[in-house]
Structure 1
């Protein structure tokens, strides 16, 4: 049984061709790659797969509900997805070209935990997006 089939079954999802193909695209993405539903749809079309855009949206929503993917809203509400990872990480986004970089900073994570504790909160989830302009070679899209 393939890894993606195992992951889908563990998440309580029936193994279907569209789910497997979409999971494979997300799994093969490089670290820091984030795909919109439209990006995934275009990749599937390029692979000759007959999967509609509505199906891609539905599968991504199912994956998110099952904890398989994380959804981010980087560019004015434009949703992008990545496979969910146990490692906590944050994102910095170029406001000109949309390039996204991931980073992990244990000191920053610890400081957020300290702030939450000082304010009487237990953190259940965290998201940090930093916005700026690429230092070198930014080309506005």
Structure 2
């Protein structure tokens, strides 16, 4: 089982106030509650957090997300659409397919794409050390 956000905060020395614990809990549980495609923005996180503790301000959510991101606990994604979206930092690599109409985000791993990216880097004289792939599309209508 992977570490929760709260466990990651403790292991990285990030101080956990009661409000940060609530925010960490909501982020940790977001994939289970909202599905694998859940990459909430700060407004969505705030809406979820305020249902648990209405005293938490949106400014607190913004500050906490920034702290978690700087500590390497959250990954920030700037998918098209204007708002930064977040997910818990995980050890395994994956790419994203984003539906431009619905905003649905599909996480995937494709060995052929991984091999091709390394091949392209090597062709140009580089060793690939990192990458991120975002594909944008519109779902085809069922026939």
TM-score normalised over the length of structure 1: 0.85
Note if contact 1:89-1:104 (Cα within 8 Å) is conserved in structure 2: yes
1:51 pairs with one of 52, 56, 63: 56
TM-score normalised over the length of structure 2: 0.84
Instruction: Give the aligned partner of residue 12 of structure 1.
Output: 13
Note if contact 2:121-2:127 (Cα within 8 Å) is conserved in structure 1: yes
1:30-59 deviation digits (Å, cap 9, x = unpaired): 222101000010011122341111111111
Note if contact 1:60-1:69 (Cα within 8 Å) is conserved in structure 2: yes
In the aligned structure 1, how far is the partner of 2:85 from the partner of 2:28?
14
The alignment of Structure 1 onto Structure 2 pairs a total of residues equal to 136
Unaligned runs of 5+ in 1: none
In the aligned structure 2, how far is the partner of 1:111 from the partner of 1:69?
28
Instruction: Give the aligned partner of residue 120 of structure 2.
Output: 115
1:83-111 deviation digits (Å, cap 9, x = unpaired): 01111111111111111111111221121
Unaligned runs of 5+ in 2: none
In the aligned structure 2, how far is the partner of 1:113 from the partner of 1:98?
29
Paired residues for 1:33-112 under 5 Å: 33-112=38-117
Query: Using a 3 Å threshold, how does the CA distance of structure 1 residues 49 and 7 change in structure 2: closer, same or farther?
Result: farther
Instruction: Give the aligned partner of residue 133 of structure 1.
Output: 138
Note if contact 2:77-2:86 (Cα within 8 Å) is conserved in structure 1: yes
